[in-house]
């Protein structure tokens, strides 16, 4: 389905796309019922490295901070 909030978030994250892998999950699909039950009123939702990071809109400072911490751990 169209998701303007998701599209806006992807646009904000575009400059960082070489530093992480964006995996989109369609929570309306039957196999994603658990995600739907948890986040149906909170899209978009972002997890980084399997951990909840933010919801509704991109907090770019928080994202950058957590991405740098993750990159430092992996070096």
Domain boundaries, the chain: 4-73
Q: How many residues does the chain have?
A: 75
When computed from its CA atoms, the radius of gyration of the chain, rounded to whole angstroms, is 13
* Domain covering 4-73, topology: Glutaredoxin (3.40.30)
Answer whether 47's CB lies under 8 Å from 39's CB.
Answer: no
- Residue 28 in tokens: 């309306």
pLDDT at 36 over 90: yes
User: What mean pLDDT value characterizes the chain?
Assistant: 94
- Residue 7 in tokens: 């599209």
- Residue 36 in tokens: 């739907």
- pLDDT 10s digits, 37-63: 999 999 999 999 999 999 999 999 999
Name the band, by pLDDT with cuts 50, 70 and 90, for residue 30: very high
């Amino acid at each position: 389905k169209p998701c303007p909030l998701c599209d806006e978030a992807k646009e904000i994250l575009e400059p960082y796309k070489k530093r992480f892998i964006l995996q989109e999950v369609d929570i309306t699909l039957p196999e994603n019922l658990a995600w739907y039950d948890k986040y149906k009123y909170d899209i978009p939702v972002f997890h980084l490295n399997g951990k909840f990071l933010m919801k509704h809109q991109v907090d770019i400072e928080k994202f950058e901070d957590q991405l740098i911490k993750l990159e430092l751990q992996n070096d």
